[in-house]
Chain A
Amino acid sequence: MSNTTQPVLKARFRLDEFLFEKSIATVAVISCVFIVLILLFVMRESLPLFLGKALDDIGPVKLSRVFDFSWIPVSNNPHYGIIPLFVGSAKVTFIAIFIAAPIAILAALYTTSFAPKWSKEILKPAIEILAGFPSVVIGFFALIVLASLLKNIFGWQYRLNALVGGVALSIAAIPIIFTVSEDALNAIPKTMVEASYALGATRWETAFFVLLPSAMPGIFAALLLGIGRAFGETMIVLMATGNAALLSPSLIDPVRTMSATIGAEMAEVVFGDAHYNVLFFIGVCLFAFSFTLNAIAELFVRGMLLKKMRGQ
């Protein structure tokens, strides 16, 4: 008999544990692989545009024709300009975030520092459930009810327009901004709040001048995630914005967004056509945009907020 404890401490090889661990790791890797494969697929389908090999009835479609100012892909003289689509997406997203951000951030501030326990227990899950709300239902609501309601109040020319879409989209963006902001606010050490009280600050002062500024990076990340969600959202904008590819500065004109264009046109486009390639190119742009936003958001939360909180 050995009198050392060495063999006892050494992990024994167990087949079941090994298999379990590896299978979970495989699942994790697969989800990454899928994203990469999807990206590669989308890029491959838009590749003819970059190589100058995309063809339509009137000749080759070069990238210069993609950065055009009008979107009329089904025409005797087709135009594939995605600039009005980009402007449309940007307008709707701006409106959505402009409405959603104050509501969501103030709601998060309320639940973290003012709400009594019972109201917090109702509010938080209620807003989080909103995140799982089917966007097609929000879009339908906007199309049927919201558009008429806002038109009757403001009396504008177009029933379906960027503002209606933006308001509807803010319903989808609020829960994301709320949840991430709330996490950021909760991550602030109790000691900071207590120090603030000890110095004689009121609850309002503590919330607005201590909690909110310290959670800023996290809230900024929340806003970026909200923008990403609003920019990529398809069904709501497809139903509520009127889908006219206009290039106008007005917020109450109809708009056509990038995502809605893919949603509406991909189903029946001729495969391999220039129009098909351009739709995939829009997909690449959307992917790049949301990837960048998510990356920045992730870096801000991980890199800045946590370091700051740990006093590094």
Chain B
Amino acid sequence: MKKTGLILSSLALCAAAVIGYAGNVVTIKGSDTIVILAQRWAEKYMGAHAGTTIQVTGGGSGVGISALINGTTDICSSSRPMKTSERDKLKQRFNSLGVETKVAKDGLSVYVNATNGVKELTLDQMKKIFTNEITNWNQVGGKDAKIVVYGRENSSGTYVYFRDFVLGGKDYSPLMQTLPGTAAVVNAVAKDPLAIGFGGAAYAKGINQILVKKDAASQAFAPTAENVKNNVYPITRYLYFYTRSAPTGSIKAFIDWVLSAEGQAIITEVGYFPVK
């Protein structure tokens, strides 16, 4: 009996897959930050809605936006808002400025080694550390030792976001060691007592997360779900879905589901923060 059930259910699954393929296909392309999240959404959604297939690809926010402009994806996922120049291109092609949906929030954490005495930094101090103006931990209340700066590769959205938001668009110190992936940064910081690095809050394990202050006078906040949700943690960003025009049909159904309680619950499992 059990065996028959198994065979039947696998047959049903195959059938569902075939029907799914024949049915609606929604493509999502863009940010590598969102790709894990979007995949989880797609899996859960396809499990419940047999008629729709969601295809998720990464490549970076820029790649996703060009795909949206070129008409090769239905939804573009992006970890930054679209630029005016990109909106203009979209308008030329499709006579539409694109429709933005905020689907999740991400808080960038700044990590130091667990043995480091420095617990909190202001945005300005971080800017100076990452642009090589502050080079010693004693300038920010730590012990007398040189700071070792780690960061992400310049191909990542995190690199650009941190540079624009914290560094005010200035270039990183040439001394910054860039590592492939947030996990590598976390690993390096965990092994190096003098290190500082940044990355998504999703990966922060085995190190101290710095409490961030907007300026010297303000209160310091940890990158917790509560603080990110209430917009008090200074380094937060939205994660977006873009469509060319107001979503309809299966695209609308999917985006609505993402914003529903069920879809938003998955965000926390992956390690980002819900918008609702």
Residues of A near any B CB (own CB < 8 A): 70, 72-77, 84, 143-144, 147-148, 151, 157-160, 238-239, 242-246, 254, 256, 264-265, 267-270
Q: Shortest beta-carbon distance, A266 to chain B, in Å?
A: 8
What are 5 inter-chain pairs, A to B, with CB distance below 8 A?
A: A70-B174, A147-B191, A158-B177, A160-B188, A244-B178
B155 CB within 8 Å of chain A = yes
Name the B residues within 8 Å of A269 (CB-CB). 155
Known: A72-B174, A158-B177, A270-B63. 12 other contacts (CB 8 A): A73-B154, A75-B171, A76-B169, A76-B171, A84-B174, A151-B192, A159-B188, A160-B188, A243-B179, A256-B178, A268-B62, A268-B63
Which of these, A75, A84, A159, A243, contacts B192 with CB under 8 Å? Answer: A159
> With A238-B180, A268-B63 as given contacts, are A246 and B155 in contact (CB-CB < 8 Å)?
no
Within 8 Å CB of A160, what residues of B? 177, 188
Tell me whether B148 and A267 are in contact (CB under 8 A).
no
Nearest residue, chain A, Cβ from B173: A244
Asked whether A244 lies within 8 Å of B175 as measured between CB atoms, the reply is: yes
Sort A-B residue pairs by CB-CB distance and give the 5 closest, nearest first. Answer: A268-B155, A242-B177, A74-B154, A268-B60, A243-B178
| Complex contacts, A264 vs chain B, CB 8 Å | 153-155, 178, 180
CB distance from B169 to the nearest CB of A (A): 5
B174 pairs with A157, CB closer than 8 A: no
- State the interface size on chain B (CB cutoff 8 A): 32
Contact with A along B58-73 (1 / 0, CB 8 A): 0110110010000000
CB of B221 within 8 A of chain A?
no
Distance from B48 Cβ to chain A, minimum over Cβ atoms (Å): 33
- A270–B62 contact, CB under 8 A? yes
**At the interface, yes or no: B44 with Cβ under 8 Å from chain A?**
no
Measured CB to CB, the residues of B under 8 A from A are: 32, 59-60, 62-63, 66, 146, 148, 153-156, 159-160, 163, 169, 171-172, 174-180, 184, 187-188, 191-192, 194-195
A51 to chain B, nearest CB (A): 24
**CB < 8 Å: which of B60, B148, B179, B180 contacts A157?**
B148
Q: For A70, list chain B residues within 8 Å (CB).
A: 174
CB contacts (< 8 Å) of B187 on chain A: these are: 143-144
Distance from A70 Cβ to chain B, minimum over Cβ atoms (Å): 6
State the CA gap A52–B101 with chains docked (Å).
Answer: 40
C-alpha spacing A265/B174, complex, angstroms: 16
User: Contacts of B154 on A, CB cut-off 8 Å?
Assistant: 72-74, 264-265
Q: Using CB atoms, name the residue of chain B closest to A273.
A: B62
Docked CA distance A145–B171 (Å): 32
Given contacts A268-B63, A269-B155, contact A254 B171 (CB under 8 A): no
Q: Cβ of B188: which chain A residues have Cβ within 8 Å of it?
A: 159-160
Most buried by A among B32, B153, B188: B153
Measured CA separation A239–B174 after assembly (Å): 18
Residues of chain B within 8 A of A148, CB atoms compared? 191
Q: How far is the CB of B79 from chain A (nearest CB, A)?
A: 12
Chain A residue at smallest Cβ distance from B176: A244
- Find out whether the CB atom of A74 lies under 8 angstroms from the CB atom of B159: yes
A256 partner residues in chain B, CB cutoff 8 A:
178
**CA of A142 to CA of B146, assembled, Å:** 23
Q: Is the CB of B146 within 8 A of A265?
A: no
Contact B174 A244 (CB under 8 A): yes
CA distance A264 to B180 in the complex (A): 7
Contact B156 A268 (CB under 8 A): yes
Determine the residue in chain A with the shortest Cβ distance to B194: A157
A124 to B131, CA, bound (A): 50
* Alpha-carbon gap, A75 to B173, bound state (A): 12
Residues of A within 8 A of B194 (CB): 157
